[in-house]
Amino acid sequence: MKKPLWAVLELPLKVTKEVLWSVLTEPQYTEKYMYNCKLKCNWEIGDEVQWVEVHEDESETIHVNGELLEFSPYRCLRFTIFHKGSGLKGQSSELRFMISPHSEGVLLTIEQGDFSSFPQAEVIHAECQRGWEFVQKDLIATCIEAA
């Protein structure tokens, strides 16, 4: 059996769970840290979810498609992410945003995986980990701005 491969990022944040929840779920915030993409979802389990970039001419590019697996306000968001990159068609991963109490606010734990069955699993895992580390600074700044 292959060892599970999950990208993991833990962020202690000096905000309330309500502020963080807004930052994770409201499009005007997601575009500030998620590669200029607005999160679109109706928030019903099983609904399609999209991260959409809106261009200056109002045209849109859907960068990521998925499905909502869990919507537990102020605690957990879970999605299936459908990968469409080169050689990844038909592959999916799970994306989790988990919120827990922390000494000075909340702890956001982001997990994405399991990449162990993907072609070039180690490479895809490392790219995903770098991607979450890249958004970290803007995610923190968005939380501070929203507070």
pLDDT in tens, 21-64: 999 999 999 999 999 999 999 999 999 999 999 999 999 999 99
Residues with Cβ within 8 Å of residue 37, at least 6 apart in sequence: 30, 31, 51, 52, 53, 63, 64
Query: What values do phi and psi take at 4, rounded to 5?
Result: -60, 140
Nearest C-alpha neighbor of 83 from the set 36, 51, 110, 60: 51
User: Can you give the residue ranges of every domain in the chain?
Assistant: 6-36+68-146
Report helix, strand or coil for 16. coil
* CATH hierarchy code of domain 6-36+68-146: 3.30.530.20
H/E stretch holding 29 reads helix 27-33
pLDDT at site 1: 65
* The model scores a pTM over 0.85: yes
pLDDT at site 103: 95
* DSSP per-residue string spanning 69-129: EEEETTTEEEEEEE--STTTTT-EEEEEEEEEEETTEEEEEEEEE--TTSTTHHHHHHHHH
CB 131 within 8 A of CB 110: no
pLDDT in tens, 78-95: 999 999 877 888 899 999
